[in-house]
Structure 1
Amino acid sequence: MSSELDADVDILIVGAGVTGIYQLYLAREAGYSVQLVDAGTGVGGTWYWNRYPGSRYDSESYTYGYFFSEELFKEWEWSEHFAGQAENERYFNHVVDKFGLRRHIRFSTRVTSAVWGKESSTWQVTAADGYTARARYLVAATGVLSAPFYPDVPGRESFRGESYHTGLWPKTEVDFKGKRVAVIGTGSSGVQVIPVIAPDVASLTVYQRTPNWATPLNNRPVTPQEQAELKAGFASIKETVDKSASGFLHQPSAKMTFDDSPEERQAFYERTWQLGGFGKIISNYRDMTMNPAANAEWSRFVADKIRAVVRDPATAEKLIPKDHGYAGKRPPYVTDYYEAYNRPNVSLIDLKETPITAVTETGIETAEGLREFDIIVWATGFDFGTGALKRIGIVGRDGLPLKEYWADGPLTYLGIMAHHFPNFFFPGGPHGGAGNNPRYNGDQSDFIAGLLEFAREHGHAVIEAPKALEDEWTTMVNEAAYTMSPFKELSYFFGSNIPGKAKAFLLNSLGRPKMLEMMETAAKSDYAGFFPGSEDSGQ
């Protein structure tokens, strides 16, 4: 190892979240020299940074966690079906300690540059604290929700009170008791934090740009009987989530909406309303997301539920989306969210009617005047999909920056690799997931591990995604975004929440089965075309 480098390894992984930890485990088990770096001071990724009040899974805890170890699955007992942030963070710490991974992790290391060296066929990586490393392979497990976004509001940094972004929440407890609080944003994090802090604050003003179709999470404790059933059912649970198109345990319905009578549909909707989390999409009528008439009927059902909870009719109407049907944007799952608006200390401001003109030293100014606050919570989301990857200074072959290559939207092979960027992988990035992220991302990590093993066995020093395969996957994803996905262009899955960002689909619109099929095809072909300079490279 060079004395000028802090690390000289086979594999350098960026990101200590659910995907990075699994990739580290696979690399260590395969006998590679490996280091994982993370900007935080602990593991967990999303569940390290997003520690705001109310932060929790909306995937069932036992389907989000790892399945590579039956012993791990059986020894860890989740307290709730949808565990909270603190428990999730404890879980990931338990995993890295149980499997001896912590010694391979360097914290407080924010990568600022990663440049491909053609002569050495390695990546030269630097971080903000002066850390330098050289790696044969670079794996950016930076996640799709790790680049917090602040809207461009005049005076935002002038506010003299406390100000927090939900995606950058402090470890120290924030005291909301008796405070005048503003929450800006009603997306997945806003709808979680609002009902938790509402009982404690003196006043809570919610600034909403666009409402979402929030439906009940239906969380509850995992009973002792359920704990026993989970442990006994490890093999069948693993088989189900491994084969499931969504990566969940929820079973798809075989019915189409209008196969049932109106009375049967109403009864079905009521049963579906009681399902946990994503069951309201997966186990709903099969055509609910893609048949406009079916979607409209379910959306009316949800709208009526909102009106039944929120006592003030004007507030209820502001909370019901008018620009998209259910699942046209990523629907959040909530506990007591709509009930919070019945509290006398909670008010809602529609930013389309009353936009924010400035943040001042003491509060938030709109056309209606100034409201003073002690705390502002920015629940304004993330630069989804590509944000983190484009911010860490990736420069590939011939000096091409990834940020430039993806200026008009991501170009990927299976959401894992990009042409022009040899020996670079980004599991959990754009074009990869479309359901329970750890299951999709795990598939990608397994594919990477298999590809690296093949390259090692056959003496290939450089791996690069073939341009033809990148074009094929990207084209299919972009086309299927309008025919196979329910999400509309106004969703952040198209980057619509980031001013100036190119409009491009950021999920895997083709689904997990197609991704697995193409992975299998590549492996059966001995990864033909992936090794530049070899006879089968196709370059």
Structure 2
Amino acid sequence: MTASPVGQPADVTGMFDAIVIGAGMSGLYQLIRLRELGMRALVLEAGTGVGGTWYWNRYPGCRFDSESYSYGYSFDKELLAEWDWTEHFAPQPETERYLNRVADKYDLRRDIRFSSRVTAARWDEASRSWSVALEDGTRFASRFLITAIGALSSPTMPAFPGMDEFEGQSFHTGLWPKEPVDFAGKRVAVIGTGASGVQTIQEVAKTAAQLTVFQRTPNWCAPLHNGTISPEDMAEIRNRYDEIFARCRETFACFLHTADPRNTFDVTPEEREAFLEKLYSERGFGIWVGNFKDLLTNRAANEVVSEFIANKIRGRVKDQRVAEMLIPKTHGFGTRRVPLETRYYEVYNQPNVLLVDSRATPIERITPTGIKTSDAEYDVDIIVYATGFDALRGAFDRIDFLGAGGISLKEKWEHGATSLVGMLQEGFPNLFTLLGPHTALGNIPRSIEFNVDWVTAMLRHLQANGITRAEPKPEAVAAWMDHVAEVARGLLSMEVDSWMTGVNSNVAGKQVRHVARYTGSAPTYRAWADDIARQGYAGVALD
């Protein structure tokens, strides 16, 4: 059943049943599902190609830290049968090729408008439609608007004086150029030691004449233990895909790993040490999400595991003064996002690498030839800003969403986002946010497939019943937000400043800690969303 496009205002270039913002992993899959509904759909993408995260983040060492075979799409058996992953944790170029393969297979580009950055979206009550404006002034209209803009897609830059005066090359990791950047023989500065900083530092240190790392907040990092996948291994993985995806559906955060059923102090010190050693030697996030179940709620338990990781750092870094600089003192292991690394700590044993504590000696300005801190000047040829993202809300804040009665989404979310299961927003009819605040994150593609399928099922329900307006009811939003607050209660991570608690020191007005994301399990999240659908979308006003 094909939806009827909305009436076209005079100043609108085109009208559609649905517009999707973003051609990353969620936008591509949503387009496939919209076509199945017979909807006339348009995807608006700021970049010149598909891939989203894997289009923009081209920095050296970029790769995902979910196992490749748990990360790709699960909906297409033919694609699973024909695609070979080459590494357990695929690098960015391979993932970008994979998503281009999907776009080719489904001929998705014919419904994607590239180089089209959305700046505003406004709800019109009279026509029950969204008007979507681009940076160049072009406007489109649609009955339904779906955001596929990602949770970590809005890069943030620091505000150091003199940044525009630097005469060398400079890049943000999330806005990396397509052309190769040569670090060989160069003096390089990397500002930031989060996940992208760690991956970049590992690679730059291999060829740079001098690498200076400016670290404000050290992070607990754990070994990735990546490796190649042989044809024989890939054949075995292919035979296990049903088992792999079933495992992802049942675990807390959709990874192949999930928490051990024991508490930290249920076992002897010797058993505990052996278990932690085992986790530390295994691939992926097991040391974080497959640890003792009280790791993130019991302070004493967290201290034991933190000290275990600290001792690993001390054993891997020769200069103990540097080792102590790399060990976090303000938060426990796992209470912030844990970067996975490959010989990251050994980098600091190299004579061409210098670690600067930019909290003790803050960066004062960027000079034409380098970086000036409170106690020294560093001449560099290249500056890499690994300063992260305005997470969760950032990409929404950069678009002027105006809902019913002219309400602004940015103003509504000023003191923290609200939603119904992360996908519906009170006051914003017919708006679906695929990776909005308070959806279940974790192994994100697994969340993407569920959320896209849930939105698609709701759109099918609206089509079948001639419904042209859908908006969550205030009491349903309040009940969901009460649940979001309840599952976050008692978590040690809620005591820590990070993007996971809505704090970003590089963004004005985002210094107040709050429940910025859904911290419950993915199965619990899906149960809530499925229950809403099962009751005919109870909690949603349908007209």
1:324-369 deviation line (CA, Å, top 9, x unaligned): 1101111100011101101101000111110011111111111112
Residue from 127, 132, 154 that aligns with 2:134: 127
**1:371 is paired with a residue of what secondary structure?**
strand
State the partner residue of 1:500: 509
1:528 aligns with 2:541: no
Residue from 120, 123, 131 that aligns with 1:116: 123
The alpha carbon displacement at 1:484 in A equals 4.7
Structure 2 CA distance for partners of 1:486 and 1:434, relative to 1, 3 Å: farther
1:509 aligns with 2:516: no
State the partner residue of 2:3: none
Structure 2 CA distance for partners of 1:519 and 1:188, relative to 1, 3 Å: same
**Aligned equivalents of 1:256, 1:275: Cα separation in 2:** 20
Whether the 8 Å contact between 2:331 and 2:496 is mirrored in structure 1 is no
Amino acid at match of 1:500: G
Q: Structure 1 stretches of 5 or more lacking a match?
A: 535-539
Amino acid at match of 1:520: D
The alpha carbon displacement at 1:150 in A equals 0.9
**1:26 is paired with a residue of what secondary structure?**
helix
State the partner residue of 2:395: 388
The alpha carbon displacement at 1:214 in A equals 0.4
The alpha carbon displacement at 1:379 in A equals 0.2
Q: Structure 2 stretches of 5 or more lacking a match?
A: 1-6
Whether the 8 Å contact between 1:96 and 1:102 is mirrored in structure 2 is yes
Larger displacement relative to structure 2 (510-519 or 94-103): 510-519
State the partner residue of 2:358: 351
**Aligned equivalents of 2:328, 2:321: Cα separation in 1:** 13
Structure 2 CA distance for partners of 1:435 and 1:488, relative to 1, 3 Å: farther
1:518 aligns with 2:528: yes
1:251-272 deviation line (CA, Å, top 9, x unaligned): 4322222222111111111111
The alpha carbon displacement at 1:218 in A equals 0.8
**1:238 is paired with a residue of what secondary structure?**
helix
1:402 aligns with 2:409: yes
Residue from 123, 135, 151 that aligns with 2:158: 151
Q: Which TM-score applies when normalising by structure 1?
A: 0.96
1:55 aligns with 2:62: yes
Whether the 8 Å contact between 1:385 and 1:430 is mirrored in structure 2 is yes
**Aligned equivalents of 2:454, 2:492: Cα separation in 1:** 24
1:292 aligns with 2:299: yes
1:133-192 deviation line (CA, Å, top 9, x unaligned): 101100011011111011121112221111100000000011111111110000000000
**Aligned equivalents of 1:505, 1:531: Cα separation in 2:** 26
**1:171 is paired with a residue of what secondary structure?**
coil
1:223 aligns with 2:230: yes
Amino-acid identity (%): 44
State the partner residue of 2:211: 204
Whether the 8 Å contact between 1:485 and 1:509 is mirrored in structure 2 is no
State the partner residue of 2:38: 31
**Aligned equivalents of 1:383, 1:505: Cα separation in 2:** 15
Whether the 8 Å contact between 1:273 and 1:280 is mirrored in structure 2 is yes
1:254 aligns with 2:261: yes
Tell me how many residue pairs correspond in the alignment.
533
**Aligned equivalents of 2:181, 2:136: Cα separation in 1:** 28
Whether the 8 Å contact between 1:430 and 1:508 is mirrored in structure 2 is yes
Residue from 439, 452, 460 that aligns with 1:445: 452
Larger displacement relative to structure 2 (226-235 or 325-334): 226-235
**1:364 is paired with a residue of what secondary structure?**
strand
Whether the 8 Å contact between 1:330 and 1:487 is mirrored in structure 2 is no
Amino acid at match of 1:453: R
The alpha carbon displacement at 1:61 in A equals 1.0
Whether the 8 Å contact between 2:66 and 2:443 is mirrored in structure 1 is yes
**2:88 is paired with a residue of what secondary structure?**
coil
Whether the 8 Å contact between 1:329 and 1:488 is mirrored in structure 2 is no
The alpha carbon displacement at 1:485 in A equals 6.6
**Aligned equivalents of 1:452, 1:424: Cα separation in 2:** 11
1:371 aligns with 2:390: no
**2:527 is paired with a residue of what secondary structure?**
helix
**Aligned equivalents of 1:287, 1:88: Cα separation in 2:** 34
Whether the 8 Å contact between 2:476 and 2:539 is mirrored in structure 1 is no
Structure 2 CA distance for partners of 1:21 and 1:487, relative to 1, 3 Å: farther
State the partner residue of 1:470: 477
**Aligned equivalents of 2:451, 2:331: Cα separation in 1:** 32
Whether the 8 Å contact between 2:168 and 2:369 is mirrored in structure 1 is yes
Larger displacement relative to structure 2 (385-394 or 475-484): 475-484
Residue from 190, 193, 196 that aligns with 1:189: 196
**Aligned equivalents of 2:19, 2:28: Cα separation in 1:** 12
Structure 2 CA distance for partners of 1:484 and 1:319, relative to 1, 3 Å: closer
1:467-498 deviation line (CA, Å, top 9, x unaligned): 11111222321343232574543121112223
The alpha carbon displacement at 1:196 in A equals 0.4
**1:183 is paired with a residue of what secondary structure?**
strand
**Aligned equivalents of 2:198, 2:234: Cα separation in 1:** 29
RMSD, aligned CA: 1.5
1:424-447 deviation line (CA, Å, top 9, x unaligned): 011112111331111122221111
1:514-538 deviation line (CA, Å, top 9, x unaligned): 2211112211211134234x4xxxx
Whether the 8 Å contact between 1:58 and 1:82 is mirrored in structure 2 is yes
**Aligned equivalents of 1:115, 1:318: Cα separation in 2:** 49
Structure 2 CA distance for partners of 1:456 and 1:484, relative to 1, 3 Å: farther
Amino acid at match of 1:428: L
Amino acid at match of 2:526: L
Whether the 8 Å contact between 1:395 and 1:401 is mirrored in structure 2 is yes
**Aligned equivalents of 1:478, 1:379: Cα separation in 2:** 31
State the partner residue of 2:4: none
State the partner residue of 2:437: 430
Amino acid at match of 1:303: A
